Structure 1
């Protein structure tokens, strides 16, 4: 009886499986549609119709912190760099019995207008993140976009008015001050004040509102999860779509890199160089230490911004697009009569080893699949930079490790107490970026190993 029951149950399962085959096929079609949209899932994205299509393993976790936490860390780092430079300039010998100073720093010599001017340059991103978080938590979904735009305009107008008002007060103070207390040419000091504003105007001449965002939002990017359809790897077999996707990712990467370099330069200039320009004539400081502090702050700010702007999921998306793009090697003019070369077609995916003729020049396909345009310098750079999934993250990690090692060497060689405090705090602040870079580099490196195993299987 048990065998009969098992046979009947098996028959019922077979019958139900045959009846459910259309629904299963529908589910498979639905999964293939999901694959084509490039959703971030825990399984591989691949086309079953083309066995030669590159197989990808997506990253299932988000390593980026919340924007408010990240901006708070950046603000703390910027304020620490500014206060440490003030320590370098206005330190005292308060421990000596003959000293009339009771504090370690002569705060009364610091120009309060300069402090406000520096704050108007380093605090806007943190203020905008707070406003954005508040709007998201209070207003409904339908009113959030409009509220953010109005809040952004009001914030930029208020900060701009305060910025130029402080600039006017500093200029008027220099004009009324005794010439013996002015260090350097007043026009040079005015140029130092206008330099950050000039760089900002030239960098963001098209859209000044993008100054408040480290990650560009014109394509609908969220700083925590890359949920925009324009910035998802679609895993398409159409070479035209592959080139369009690469062009979108290339522009977005260049925009992020520009923002990282600009904000790093802005923090280093405003927090380390501006205080030196407004030091009084009787204030003597070590120029070598001040320049060293500028370089260390710039490098630390660069890695801190790059960690947030280029998370592993974003680099994996660029790597997947590079595998679909491919690479063409220039062979030279078509001089051999025995070489068979076909005319390059924009709607054809070329296999490895194919020879094509483009603008009277012969190119050979070097990767498995090639959708790139022969002779395009943008496609060549994109492929060289992102074909290795771990190259970008490991490069940032090596840069940060060299920076930490340099800070350790300078700390061991320093003899002054204020230099020890400055280097120790900078090294402690860089621990946040070092930890995230080590974790991200390990994740991306293991991902690249898994893809190599999948490719060789």
Structure 2
């Protein structure tokens, strides 16, 4: 396995031995008292020399493409989805001999203000990535952070002014729309215009500058901010540090997941629904095809963003931290009366099968080592989601395969030329995410097999 490297066991033993020799005499006596014969305590304290400490096999390679390449792919996908929806709305039958149309589209019906408004919503990430690439290649590292901050503010302010300018032009446009239809009503048009901006303001009210970043640049609390690109697993046996690491990783994962969902929703709404909302009232189109296009674009953009936000190396960090965290099961009342338990201590690592009392409730440790808080639902969800190294990547792969299969079925059932073009291009655009997900799934699957072999060795 060329892409996987094993942690050196010999170095761990040397390090563990040196740490063990540095333990004071009083701690040695305490440890011998805990594990002496006749003692019936169901907990243990973890030392650096503990043989039950999890052994990890980490992924050493970076599977993610360069940010500029990825953002270019996303921009191409977004523009393709938008142009295909335009094709659904303004197609013609130019091949008929009685047709007065010479083009495949009715270009004179397309509102240029709507096109510019959509571009202000889907192009900021690509522009910011280009700015970052130029700053990194031109300026020294000591000046990059300050320049990035000011460039980001200037870019957001400029795009905001342009965005609201086109919003004003569309809202105040004097068109001959039939006000009896809902699409021609001014309130409906205004709601369609401000909906993407309103969602953006609600989600990023505290960190609006992150609207142009899929992967957050900094995560953590207000007191301690950590570069998201510097996240790593410390493999600590201190339960307090384990819980702190899990909390940091949990916040980073939630932030990435929120960004993935938001940007996928933005692409789907602005590129597929807005053109339908601002189509003229006399334009007739197949509503089922338009909604089908919205669902396919949303699902495709979701996997396209997820494959970049959650690479295998990042998921391996979460998996390694979950193995140190462990989880607890709540014990029933009948079992609680027959077991011997002690009060849960936050500075203790508990072994499998230990019974503890927390808030007058009995819990049982289910994993090899347990540093989690018994009543914490965050810890339990984190462990359930990431204890299997291949679960997250394989779930994304299954989702993408189902999407490709659905597109194939719809393609075989379609009998209109524009539907065939639309489904074919969407399926071709999803090949990028499918290839990366298949490769990543193979890597994490082999990683899980290697960890099982190491665990049973």
TM-score higher than 0.5 here?
Answer: yes
Q: Distance in 2 between matches of 1:344 and 1:28?
A: 32
- Which structure 2 residue ranges, 5 or more long, are not aligned? 1-9, 20-46, 220-224
Q: 1:70 to 1:337 in 2, by over 3 A?
A: closer
Q: Do the aligned residues in 2 keep the contact of 1:390 with 1:448 (CA within 8 Å)?
A: yes
Match of 2:256 in 1: 256
C-alpha deviation, 1:98, in angstroms: 1.4
The answer (yes or no) to whether the contact 2:342–2:357 under 8 Å persists in 1 is yes
- Other-structure match for 2:130: 130
Q: Is the 8 A contact 2:177 2:281 kept in 1?
A: no
Q: Shift of residue 114 of structure 1?
A: 0.3
Structure 1 counterpart of 2:109: 109
Residue 70 of structure 2 aligns with which residue? 70
Give the equivalent residue in structure 1 for 2:41: none
Q: Deviations over 1:69-120 (max 9, x none)?
A: 0000000000000000000000001111111211111111110000000000
- After superposition, the Cα gap between the structure-2 partners of 1:25 and 1:321, relative to the gap in structure 1 and judged at 3 Å, is closer
Cα displacement (A) at 1:227? 4.7
Question: Is 1:201 aligned to residue 201 of structure 2?
Answer: yes
- C-alpha distance in 2, partners of 1:110/1:31? 73
What's the CA shift string for 1:316-335, capped at 9, x where partnerless?
Answer: 00000000000101003487
Distance 1:337 1:331 in 2: 10
Paired residues in the alignment total: 415
Residue in 1 that maps onto 2:3:
none
Indicate how the Cα distance of structure 1 residues 227 and 89 shifts in structure 2: closer, same or farther if over 3 A, else same.
closer
CA contact (8 A) 1:334 1:360 kept: no
RMSD (Å) for aligned C-alpha atoms:
2.2
Match of 1:450 in 2: 450
**More divergent stretch after superposition (75-84 vs 336-345):** 336-345
Closer/same/farther in 2, CA of residues 318 and 26 from structure 1, 3 Å limit: closer
Task: Map 1:57-96 to 2 at 5 A.
Answer: 57-96=57-96
Are 1:414 and 2:414 matched, yes or no? yes
- 8 Å CA contact retained: 1:333, 1:361: no
Q: Following the alignment from structure 1 to structure 2, what is the Cα–Cα distance between the partners of residues 335 and 71?
A: 55
- Residue equivalent to 2:265: 265
Between the aligned partners of 1:32 and 1:319, the Cα distance in structure 2 is 28
In structure 2, C-alpha distance between the alignment counterparts of 1:252 and 1:415, rounded to whole Å:
46
Tell me, yes or no, if structure 1 residue 342 matches structure 2 residue 325.
no
List alignment gaps of at least 5 residues for structure 1.
Answer: 1-23, 34-46
Residue 176 of structure 2 is matched in structure 1 by 178
Q: 1:26 to 1:351 in 2, by over 3 A?
A: closer
Q: Deviations 1:250-287 (Å, cap 9, x if unpaired)?
A: 01000000000000000000000000011112211000
Q: Give the distance between the partners of 1:170 and 1:441, measured in 2 at CA.
A: 46
Residues 324 and 371 of structure 1 are in contact (CA less than 8 Å); yes or no, is this contact kept in structure 2? yes
Q: What TM-score does the superposition give when structure 2 sets the normalisation length?
A: 0.87
- Asked if the contact 2:217–2:229 (Cα under 8 Å) also holds between the matched residues in 1, the reply is no
Shift in Å, 1:427: 0.1
Q: How does 1:9-408 map to 2 (within 5 A)?
A: 49-173=49-173, 176-180=174-178, 183-219=183-219, 227-228=229-230, 231-333=231-333, 337-408=337-408
State the distance in 2 between where 1:31 and 1:330 align. Answer: 37
Contact 2:78 2:122 in 1 (8 A): yes
For 2:310 and 2:233, locate their aligned partners in 1 and report how far apart those are by CA, in whole Å: 16
